[in-house]
Amino acid sequence: MVSRVIPVDPFDLVIFGGTGDLARRKILPGLFRRFCAGQMPKGARVIGAARGDMDSAAYRDFVAEAIAEFGGIHSCEEGTLAGFLERMEFVTIDARGDKGWDELAKLVRPDVVRAYYFSVGPSLFADLAHRLNAHGLTDADSRIVVEKPFGRDLPSAKALNRDLAMHFDESQIYRIDHYLGKETVQNLMAVRFGNMLFEPLWNSQYVDHIQITVAETVGVGGRGEYYDKSGAMRDMVQNHLMQLLCLIAMEPPSKFDPDAVRDEKLKVIRALDDVEPYHIVRGQYEASESEPGYREAVGDPRTRTESYIAMKVGISNWRWAGTPFYLRTGKMLKARSSEITVVFKELNHSIFGEQSDHRNVLSIRLQPNEGITLGVTIKEPGPGGMRLVDVPLDMSFAEALGADGADQTDAYERLIMDVIRGNQTLFMRGDEVEAAWAWTDPIINGWEARGEVPKTYDAGSEGPVDAVQLLARDTRVWRKVAP
């Protein structure tokens, strides 16, 4: 199998926040890998822009260090890094003042694709959009890329959408949810809509319930200040888990086209039921031997922000009414493991008489060990009658696809190239983001109004015990959180 590199047009990519953490860890190393893969054409340039004083030579050193630290293993020929660094420029810029804008206007070329990556806090989005426009740095083909969090509730998301819409058309705005750039997340669509096998069974008549788990082993680390204002609901559920839920629950779009896909996702979000307070479990991790507990990590012994959330969600439409979706995500859990599990119903009649609980389970592992396992029921070998046993049909993408399966393009590099190509399929549309907040807000407002305090859970565990109860009440069990 050969991985194909789709050529892109020459571009100028300006990264506001070009010396920030995201640029260092993800954007710049990702661009370098695209360069190595031959996808950055001659005439493609990257311009870092940030508040601090720095010249282009110092920026190139900064980029080289970022690549050394986060570039990953890649077979780039000698001299390639130097070739990449030649494409780098830097401008000191003030998002809220005039400093640097004339200089940037001189650097950016009007005859190539112009993309502006807002890798800064959302409070600067409106200023940047305004100044780009005021300094004549945009035309109808220019694009902006905006990072999460896109607002912290519906009113702030609406205000951001309004601010950006004053200067850019929706077709120019690329709202990043990096989960959509993950290879295996896109595979959800391939598995569902590229196979005849699953789709006829993909509904409440055959599916008992669906579990979506995004478990992390890391704590909040140095991001305590941001995280404590967000919590797992705003940081993960409103965006990443919501996107997974949409892809697993949506109707087949008529084609793989940005608006066709996003229209179907939007319908799922709009069909989500309100969530009952007793269908939500929130948690905070306790200290482990090596790491402080959540409250200590964020420096507030009385914080009520959750580092874990589990919830039961219903979708009121013809396909899914009656099939619950159980979502959970948390920090400092037993294993880093993201997976979606579709648990099918029991047979409506067994010709083998009473045999305890056999059912098909389809598990899609998003990370790590990307792959699919389908649990099928077969005869237990040997004499002694017709005894049934469940066995896994297990496929790891890395094994099935060889080197191409193992060498997965990072979400950011894929998404940045999609911006340059002008493909919005894997980006969130404004109405989608607003619909997600419209569903999320009453849930958060509810627990704030009731003054609910999260349960505690041990670091390295599978989360609070109450989460087990959430499913036990429905006579169901969570999948094990295992790598």
Q: How far is CA 207 from CA 85, 199, 272, 324, 362, in A?
A: 52, 11, 17, 9, 10
**Residue 457 CB, nearest approach to ligand BG6 (Å):** 17
The residue among 216 and 228 lying less far from ligand BG6, judged by its C-beta, is 216
Q: Residue 74 catalytic?
A: no
The residue among 24 and 148 lying less far from ligand BG6, judged by its C-beta, is 148
Binding residues among 96-155 for ligand BG6 as defined by CB under 6 A: 148
Binding to ligand BG6 by CB under 6 A, coded x per residue (else -) over 235-254, reads x-------------------
Binding residues among 18-47 for ligand BG6 as defined by CB under 6 A: none
Of 229, 212, 211, nearest in space to 220 by CA: 229
The residue among 127 and 300 lying less far from ligand BG6, judged by its C-beta, is 300
Q: How far is CA 326 from CA 68, 119, 166, 281, in A?
A: 40, 32, 39, 11
Radius of gyration of the chain (CA): 24
Considering only 216, 410, 413, 434, the residue that binds ligand BG6 (CB under 6 A) is 216
The residue among 177 and 434 lying less far from ligand BG6, judged by its C-beta, is 177
**Residue 235 CB, nearest approach to ligand BG6 (Å):** 5
The residue among 60 and 178 lying less far from ligand BG6, judged by its C-beta, is 178
The residue among 168 and 285 lying less far from ligand BG6, judged by its C-beta, is 285
Torsion angle of the four alpha carbons 316, 319, 322, 324, in this order, in degrees rounded to the nearest 10? -80
The residue among 235 and 434 lying less far from ligand BG6, judged by its C-beta, is 235
Of 307, 309, 154, nearest in space to 241 by CA: 309
- 258-270 and 430-449 helices, crossing angle to 10°: 20
Beta bridge mates, 313: 325
Of 374, 411, 445, nearest in space to 179 by CA: 411
Q: Are strands 371-379 and 88-92 parallel, antiparallel or unpaired?
A: unpaired
**Residue 148 CB, nearest approach to ligand BG6 (Å):** 6
**Residue 125 CB, nearest approach to ligand BG6 (Å):** 17
**Residue 239 CB, nearest approach to ligand BG6 (Å):** 7
Contact 177, 170 (CB under 8 A): no
228 near ligand BG6 (CB under 6 A): no
CA distance 213 to 322: 20
CA distance 178 to 192: 21
Burial class (CB in 10 A: 0-12, 13-18, 19+), 446: middle
Contact 265, 251 (CB under 8 A): no
**Residue 449 CB, nearest approach to ligand BG6 (Å):** 25
Catalytic residue (one of 167, 178, 209, 240): 240
Listed in order, strand segments (DSSP E) in 51-153 are: 88-92, 113-118, 143-146
**Residue 356 CB, nearest approach to ligand BG6 (Å):** 36
CA distance 399 to 407: 11
- What residue is closest to ligand BG6 based on CB? 235
Of 126, 136, 228, 112, nearest in space to 173 by CA: 126
Residues of this chain that bind ligand BG6 (CB under 6 A): 148, 216, 235
Residues with a catalytic annotation lie at 240
